[in-house]
């Protein structure tokens, strides 16, 4: 299925998405799954807020929760957009891979395609850190009855980042080979992405531990 033939992933049913993910084709693939995981993280965080706002016990946190709710809503939409962009980037790059290195079409489009294939998963990792930070801020400010959902949201954010990190790694060699600054970009990303993923994992662990302890004590 080419990008021209499909609707945005956000409009698919979960059954259709997972059926396509299981099929012998590359789109949707791991990048789209990473975007989906990030959307799930943001959505679960929003659910935790929805069950908390309006309760007198948590009224003092309403302003904070309203801001996080807005950001998570934006993040959910962004996650699906990035899933689509990851698919588009993969298809553009995979169309050029079989061509000889001196083919005019490959020469003209190669650098742009390599960078596009890296940009979407890179941005999923960055977005996952923002979501993870917001999820951590919900601990101690939201209903403890939803603490399992909050912990699961943290794990989804970590999963999204780790999965997307693979798609960055897979294209770093091609990026480093670009003559117009690719080596410097690849070197920067080879440090940024693992460090970011490590922070998100650590945040997920902190959310998990706090929720298992009852979810009453704030992390931030």
Q: Which CATH number fits domain 27-212: 3.80.30.20, 1.20.120.680, 2.170.270.10, 1.50.10.10?
A: 1.20.120.680
Question: Interhelix angle for 104-138 vs 182-212, to 10°?
Answer: 20
Q: What is the pLDDT of residue 1?
A: 45
Count of C-beta atoms within a 10 Å radius of residue 185: 17
User: What is the rounded average pLDDT of the residues 36-62?
Assistant: 97
- Nearest 10 degrees: Cα torsion 152, 157, 159, 160: 140
Domain segments of the chain: what residues? 27-212
User: What is the rounded average pLDDT of the residues 174-197?
Assistant: 97
Residues 87-98 pLDDT 10s? 999 999 999 999
pLDDT band for position 2 (50/70/90)? very low
Instruction: Report how far apart, in Å, the C-alpha atoms of 151 and of each of 60, 132, 134 are.
Output: 22, 10, 12
User: The whole model's pTM is what?
Assistant: 0.95
pLDDT band for position 6 (50/70/90)? confident
């Amino acid at each position: 299925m080419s990008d021209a033939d499909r609707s945005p992933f956000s409009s698919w049913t979960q059954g259709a998405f997972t059926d396509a993910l299981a099929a012998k084709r590359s789109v949707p693939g791991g990048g789209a799954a990473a975007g989906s995981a990030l959307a799930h993280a943001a959505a679960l965080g929003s659910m935790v807020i929805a069950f908390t706002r309006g309760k007198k016990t948590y009224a003092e946190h309403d302003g904070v929760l309203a801001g996080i709710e807005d950001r998570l809503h934006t993040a959910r939409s962004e996650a699906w957009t990035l899933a689509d962009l990851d698919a588009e980037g993969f298809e553009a790059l995979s169309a050029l891979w079989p061509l000889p290195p001196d083919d005019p079409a490959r020469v003209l489009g190669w650098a742009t395609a390599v960078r596009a294939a890296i940009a979407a998963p890179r941005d999923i990792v960055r977005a996952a850190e923002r979501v993870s930070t917001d999820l951590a801020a919900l601990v101690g400010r939201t209903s403890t009855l939803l603490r399992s959902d909050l912990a699961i949201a943290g794990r989804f954010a970590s999963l999204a980042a780790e999965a997307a990190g693979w798609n960055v790694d897979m294209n770093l060699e091609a990026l480093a080979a670009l003559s117009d600054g690719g080596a410097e970009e690849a070197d920067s990303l080879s440090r940024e992405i693992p460090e970011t993923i490590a922070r998100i994992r650590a945040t997920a662990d902190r959310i998990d531990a706090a929720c298992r302890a009852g979810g009453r004590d704030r992390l931030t």
